[in-house]
Amino acid sequence: MATITLKDLVKAYGDTEVLHHVAADIQDGEFLVIVGPSGCGKSTLLRMIAGLETVTSGEVSIGDRMVNKLEPADRDIAMVFQNYALYPHMSVRENMAYGLKIRKIDKGEINRRVEEAADILELRPYLDRKPRQLSGGQRQRVAMGRAIVRDPQVFLFDEPLSNLDAKLRVQMRLEIRKLQQKLGVTSIYVTHDQVEAMTLGDRLMVLNGGYVEQLGTPIELYDRPATVFVAGFIGSPAMNLITVEASENQLKLPNGAYLEGGNDLGKVTLGIRPEHLVSDGIGPIRVTVQLFEQLGANTLLHGVLEGTDCDIVASLPGHVSASAGTVMCFSVQAQNLHIFDIQTGKRIGA
C-alpha cells in the first residue's frame, strides 16, 4: 500500500493542453473516484498514473518514489479496464495466474494467491471454466482477481462497470467497495456516473475540460459545491439553476417573486436541489406542472417557473400527482440556497 501524490500535472498533445495543472494527495488506503463527463480527461489522468501515457510536466509519486520515468510494470500497480481483457482460450485459473507466471513466481505461491483471490471473489466454483462460460459480472470479478493476485500497492479502475446492465452495476460497485475496504489498497476509480462516484469514493475529484473543479468527500460536494458545474453534475436529479437578481438581502426570481438572501450582488446564479423544494401551497416558487415521473418511493415533478421558460424539477413524496398545467407553490429554506457568481461560476459565501 502507498500514498499517491500528483503535483502540477499537465498533459499536452502538441500545442493542445488536455489536462491543466492537476494536483492531489491520495492517502494510503484511500478510495479516490475521478468523475466527470466524457472527454474531460479522467481516463488520460489515470493512464498517466499507470505509466500508459507520458507526463508533459509535473510529477507522479507512488509511495516515496517519483515514477514519471518508470515503466508500468515497475510501478507496483494493478489496473482493471472497461473491457475484461481475458484470454478466451485460458481457464479462469490460468487468466488469474498469467501475470504471475510470466514474472516467474513460484508455482505454489501462484496457486496460493489465485485460490485466496478466488475465495474473496467467490470464484472458486468457476476456476476451471473458460470466460465464455461466465456472465458479465463473473468475468469482471475474474479481471479484478487478476489484479488482486499481484498484491500491488495501488489499484486503478478505468470505468470497469460500464459494460454491465444497471442491476449488475449496483451489485458490482458494492462488491468493489467491500473488496477495497477488506484489502485496504489505495485505489483510484474513473467513472462518468456521478451516482457510482458518490457511493464508492472516500473522496471525489470532479474534472471538467481537464481542470479540477473540486476535490472533497461526496457530502462536501453535495452540500457545498464549489462551482456551478459541480452543482449541476453532482446529485440526481440535478440541481435547479436559475439566474436571479440579488439586492437588499433578497433574491428576485425571473417571474418577479422574491426569496430571502443574497446581499447586494447583482445578477447571480441561484441553485436549489429538487429535494429541498417543499410543496406548501403558499410558497413564492410557483411552478406550472408539465409532467410527473412516479418512481415509487418518490415522484419527480417537471415543470417551469410560472410565467417563464425556466425549467424546475422537484422531488416529492411517492403518491403526489397533479394535472399538466396545474400551478404548484413551493418554499425553500435559506440554508438550502446555493449562490454562484454568474461570470466565474464559483460559489459565493460559505
The total number of structural domains in the chain stands at 2
Distance (Å) of CA 50 to CA 53, 68, 214, 299 = 8, 10, 22, 43
Question: Is residue 71 assigned to a domain?
Answer: yes
Per-residue pLDDT at 172: 81
Distance CA 31, CA 176 (A): 11
Question: Is residue 83 assigned to a domain?
Answer: yes
For residue 155, what are the domain limits?
Answer: 4-230
Low-confidence ranges of the chain (pLDDT < 50): none
- Do 186 and 322 belong together in one domain? no
pLDDT digit string, tens, across residues 272-291: 999 999 999 899 999 999 99
Per-residue pLDDT at 1: 66
According to DSSP, the β-strands at 57-62 and 4-13 are antiparallel
Question: Is residue 44 assigned to a domain?
Answer: yes
- Do 246 and 195 belong together in one domain? no
Distance CA 316, CA 250 (A): 26
Question: Is residue 245 assigned to a domain?
Answer: yes
